[in-house]
Every structure is written in structure tokens, then in C-alpha cells.
Amino acid sequence: MREQGGYNASRALLISGFVTDIDRTCVGDFKVPTDPAGTKSLFLSIHYYTPYTFCGLDTVESWGSPKTTWGTDAEKAELKGLFDRLGAFSAERSIPVILGEFAVTPGEKYPREPASRRLWMQSVVEAARSRGIVPVLWDTGSEIKRTDGSFSTEWQAVMDAVDP
């Protein structure tokens, strides 16, 4: 990549974690590549959809059923634990993290409770930012109105709640 000319010699590069998953990436086998541009040009890219039964599942499957709410103490503890692990991994490997995707769908067959959606999104933003991780909220197809660029009610509430 670096030898292709132009700005490629110094541009920032995203290095995907294993399956872009926190648990699968924050392991001893994950190695940050050596970069001729130096360590300041590499970023670890992670996605976050945990628990998927709440964030994206909209049909009953053999491995789980859709959940319409989120926010129990155990669920909050799981989020905190995963982000603690990711933050420590980032510090150990000296590589900053971009949370390149995170979202929770509104759900069609199993509509998600709006308050739970807001709480989950805000909790992820706060967990990421408190650990120096850049969060990128992912539009699942219904969060941004294509005619005027306005956000869904849940997205707007999250944007209003987090500090700039």
C-alpha cells in the first residue's frame, strides 16, 4: 500500500480487527503490522453490535431470539467490560481505535423500544469516548431522512445528549 505513490506513503490506514469484533481482536494472536510511515498512521477498526439479539436480530433463530429492550445491570456491565478490554488492548499495542460502526436497528418484526435504543447508543458513545475511541454511528437505513438529512428521534436524542 505504502509503495503505490501519491499520499499512500503517509495516509492513515485502518487495520481491521479479527471479524472487527472486540473479543476476537483483543487476543495475543492479533499483531499490529509494522508500518514504514510509523505508528501514528495506523488505527484499529472495530465494529460493535453487542448484543446482536438486541442490535440487529429481527427473526427467531436457533441460536437466539430478538430482544426489544436493553439496559439491565448485566447488559451495561457487559458493554463496560468489553470497552475496558478494548481500551487496555489499544494502550498495550499503542494503536488508537476507531469504532467504525455501531448501531441498533429500530426493528420491523420486533420493534426496539425507543428508550432502550437511545440508552444503548448513548452508552456506546460514552464508553468509547471515555477511552479515547472514536465512535462512528452507523445508519442502518432508517436513521437519516434522505430528503432533508434530519435524524430519527432516537439518533437526535443521542446527538443532543453527548458533549461535542
Does position 40 have pLDDT exceeding 90, yes or no?
A: no
pLDDT score, position 140: 81
Side-by-side strand order, sheet with 134-137: 13-16, 42-48, 97-102, 134-137
Give the Cβ contact number of residue 22 at 10 Å: 21
pLDDT score, position 10: 83
Give the Cβ contact number of residue 86 at 10 Å: 24
% of the chain exceeding 90 in pLDDT? 72
pLDDT score, position 163: 66
Q: What residue spans define the domains of the chain? A: 2-161
Question: In one letter, which amino acid is 42?
Answer: L
Q: Judge contact between 87 and 134, C-beta under 8 A.
A: no
Of 91-105, 109-123, 149-163, minimum mean pLDDT range: 149-163
Tell me which residue has cell 448501531.
103
Q: Any idea of the CA torsion for 141, 143, 149, 150, to the nearest 10 degrees?
A: 160
Does position 164 have pLDDT exceeding 80, yes or no?
A: no
Give all strands (DSSP E) within 39-137, no chain letters: 42-48, 97-102, 134-137
Phi, psi of 100 (to 5 degrees): -70, -15
- Residues 62-71: what's their mean pLDDT? 98
pTM value is 0.91
pLDDT score, position 7: 83
Class of the CATH domain delimited by 2-161: alpha beta
Does position 44 have pLDDT exceeding 70, yes or no?
A: yes
pLDDT-derived band at 115 (thresholds 50, 70, 90) equals very high
pLDDT-derived band at 36 (thresholds 50, 70, 90) equals confident
